[in-house]
Structures are given as C-alpha cells and as structure tokens.
Amino acid sequence: MKYLILALILLFPHVLIAQDSVAEIAVGEAGVDKDKFVIDDPELKSLSGRETNLSKEFIDILRNNFSFYRHKFNNVDYSEKGKDSFSSPQLAKWKEGGITYFIASQFSSEGSSVEARVKAWSVLTGKELFSEKIKFDQSNLRPKVHHLADGIYKAITGKTSIFNSKIVFVSDRATFGKDTIKELYLMDFDGNRVEKLTNFQSVVISPSVAPDNSKIMFSLIASHKEVSRSRVKITKNIDLKMYDLKKRSFSTISDKPGINSGAIFSANGSVIYLTLSFSGNADVYEMNLASGSMRKVTSHYADDVDPSITQDGSLMTFLSNRSGRAHIYTMNPTQTEKDVKRISFVGQFNATPRFSPDGREIVFTSWVDGGFDLYRISSDGNNLSRLTKSFGSNEEPVFSPDGEFIVFTSKKIISRSKAVQDIYIMNRDGEILGQLTQDFGRCFSPQWTNILK
C-alpha cells in the first residue's frame, strides 16, 4: 500500500523527518518607495446614529483594505476629520505634506439605505482619478466597500486588487469525538463573512477553484459499499468531487481505486490535472472534463503528486520522491515525461509547490530546522528566497491572483497537548500582514478564488 503511505505524507504533511544540516537562507526583504496615501474621515450629512455608525464602518473597512497593500502605500494617519474634505478638498495643503493620493467621502441618508459618494485625487497633479456613488446597508456593506476599493485601486495603479477575491479553505471545526471531520469553507480575502460549503461529515482535501469561480474541485475520503455474496462491505477511497457554486450541487469526477486528488484546473477550465494511483503508484494525469478522456503526464516508478501549472500550460511543477525524498520538479506537460527537471534542493522534504500567476516563480514548503517553512524560487530553479522563520510551522502557501500576496497555514504550539493552526497572509516578500482565521478549528489548504477581468 505504498501510495497510501505517500498520500498521508503528501496530503497531510505533518510528519517527523530526520534533520540534516542545511544552508542558512535569510528571510527576504524588499525596499520600495511608497506613495503616501490618505483616506479622510467621512463628511456626514443629516444621518441618524445608526447611519453614522454604518458610514464610519464603511471607512474602517476601506482603510483596512488598503492596509494590505502597505508594501505599496504608506497609509497616513492624520486627516481633515471630514470637514468639507469631499466638497472642498485642500489638495495644496496635502501636496505640501508630501501626500500622493487623497480619498474623501460624503455620506447621506437615502431611504432605508445610506448613500456614499467617494472620490480619489492625485495630489501631485490635482487630477480627480475616481468618483463613484453607491447605496448600501448593513447586509451588503462589505461587498460594496470591497468593490469600491477595487475601483480606487484600479484608478491609481491600472491593476486589479485582491479586494473582490475570496479564499476557499478546509477546517476541522466540525470534528466531534475521535473521528476527524474536515469540511470546506469560503471567506472574504480579509477573513470575514465565512460560509460553510460542505457537510459530508468526512474529510475534505485539496480544494481548487475554477478560472471563472463557478466550481470548486476537492477530494473526499468517501465510503463505498461493495456487495459480495449478500454481504455488504464498506471501503474508504480518496474520491475527486466537484461543487457547482451556482447550482449548489455536487458531482463525482473520479473515484478510481486509490488516490484521486491534488486536482487543478487548466487556464480555460476544460482540462484538469490530478494525481491518480489506480495503476499501483501515484502519477499525474491530464483529464478532459467533458469527455473524461485521460492522458498520463508523468510515468515513473517513483510517486508523482500535487501538480501546479502555468497559465499558458507550457510548464508544470509537481512533487516527486524520485531522489528518495519528496522534492520539487518541473516539466513540459504537453508530452509524457518531457523535460523533467528537479529544482528544489533545500531542506529534507518539500511540499505543495504553487506557481505565481505569471508563472515566473514557485512558492513551496520545506522541512528545515525541525519544522516547515516557506520558500520562493524562480521557475528555472534560481533565486531561492526564504519567506518564514521563527513563526511556527508554516505550510500550504499559494499566491494571490495578482501575485502580490501569499496565504498559508501556520501551526503554533500552545502547550504539550494543544496546538492551533490558522490561515495567515503575507506579501510576496515575506512580510506577515495578519491572521485571517481565529478560533475556527485547525485550518488547511487555503486557495484563492480568481479575480474576474
């Protein structure tokens, strides 16, 4: 049962491995010039107490959104305190203070809702970059602010932000008794508005989001009934499932004997790459979702698992124990075993390699100094950078859709009998920005949704 042993190591990488000496690699730091950024207090017009509180919450969320991009923007604390800053912005004064961008807002009552008018200026040029009017109430406050914040970010940078994105993850918070239960959840990029997606009362593994955000693939330790001579036998298998977010329905993609896991979508969503072990050892396969036809991508006596692929489909990275221990390889997935190359040589054990959106870098986990830490490396195997150190045991990193951030899980030991595992976010250079989950059981396998262009 070699593939099952490997599955436990690769899909649940919480194992002890003999530690050898490794080269010390410093955690990377990047120095950049930052634009000074002011989001002023709101200008309020005839609001009730409840509406005033909603308006202030609106600004708090807006400021918090931009705080994630602190590697680009220096969010200045002082403000005009809402004194006609929207109606008569004092841009000359802000220019003297070295401010680059200024955002002001005006809130008024609009029936049962609050109307917000928001503008953004380039202080250096005096040009109005953004102006929008929206209505909101408590029920849609957060998505409205995220949408507006993304508009401001686009107006300033010309790029899409992470503000409209969500994070899919797995948690064991539903566990009761001795049997571990892991279900699938969805939350905003900042950790708010958590929604439970599955209720299998089993173990969900390795989610992956479709390019258009319409579906989520995941693996499930499923029970199968086998009837032989009027006797019913229950067996367990790692099946691959699909969840349609629009229809709120589930389907089975692959339930071959053994591992059906680690599945990812191609850029157009018509093809997936997954790990199967029905032939005896684990290999990566390509599957057409419409026809179900399959093609072997890796074919080796070693076990190959956990693929990630570039947007253009020209390069795949995966995990393999071809060298004796699990390390990271790349290859051209258009043909079986084409141009296979080992690119990781750090640590005793590697896991979960994931490409950046542009395909130029890979972020992964490595067992170093008695624990797991995160590393980033160029896709050709050069420019290795260490991203975490002395921050618990860190695993399962994945880039945000804009390539600016990485979410990951971090395990902290509380006592001899207690540990917590939560999801954190850092920027791409390793600066920890915050904790996204708290008191939500042990959390695993975060995956970003894709930003629709």
Supply the CATH number for residue 263's domain.
Answer: 2.120.10.30
114 located within any domain: yes
| Residues 147, 172 within the same domain | no
From the list 427, 433, 353, 436, the residue with the least C-alpha distance to 28 is 427
Domain holding 109, by residue range, is 35-157
| Residues 245, 385 within the same domain | yes
| Residues 18, 82 within the same domain | no
| Residues 326, 411 within the same domain | yes
| Residues 26, 39 within the same domain | no
324 located within any domain: yes
| Residues 285, 144 within the same domain | no
186 located within any domain: yes
| Residues 128, 187 within the same domain | no
250 located within any domain: yes
From the list 221, 213, 201, the residue with the least C-alpha distance to 168 is 213
| Residues 182, 214 within the same domain | yes
Domain stop point among 138, 157, 176: 157
From the list 274, 251, 167, the residue with the least C-alpha distance to 213 is 167
DSSP secondary structure code for residue 20 in this structure: -
256 located within any domain: yes
Say how many domains are in the chain: 2
- Residues paired with residue 432 on neighbouring β-strands, in sequence order: 426
7: helix, coil or strand?
helix
End-to-end Cα spacing for the chain: 45
From the list 122, 119, 114, 141, the residue with the least C-alpha distance to 131 is 119
Q: What angle do CA 429, 432, 436 make, to 5 degrees?
A: 130
124 located within any domain: yes
Q: State the average pLDDT over residues 357-363.
A: 98
Supply the CATH number for residue 68's domain.
Answer: 3.40.50.10070
pLDDT digits over 88-116, tens only?
888 998 898 899 999 999 999 988 899 99
pLDDT of residue 23: 40
pLDDT-derived band at 32 (thresholds 50, 70, 90) equals low
- Residues paired with residue 247 on neighbouring β-strands, in sequence order: none
Residue 22 pLDDT exceeds 80: no
How far from 420 is each of 169, 185, 423, CA to CA, in Å? Answer: 15, 18, 10
| Residues 25, 41 within the same domain | no
For residues 80 and 444, what is the distance between their CA atoms, to the nearest angstrom? Answer: 43
From the list 353, 361, 351, the residue with the least C-alpha distance to 383 is 361
pLDDT digits over 186-198, tens only?
999 999 999 999 9
| Residues 113, 223 within the same domain | no
| Residues 204, 272 within the same domain | yes
| Residues 97, 171 within the same domain | no
16 located within any domain: yes
- Residues paired with residue 45 on neighbouring β-strands, in sequence order: 108
453 located within any domain: no
Residue 20 pLDDT exceeds 70: no
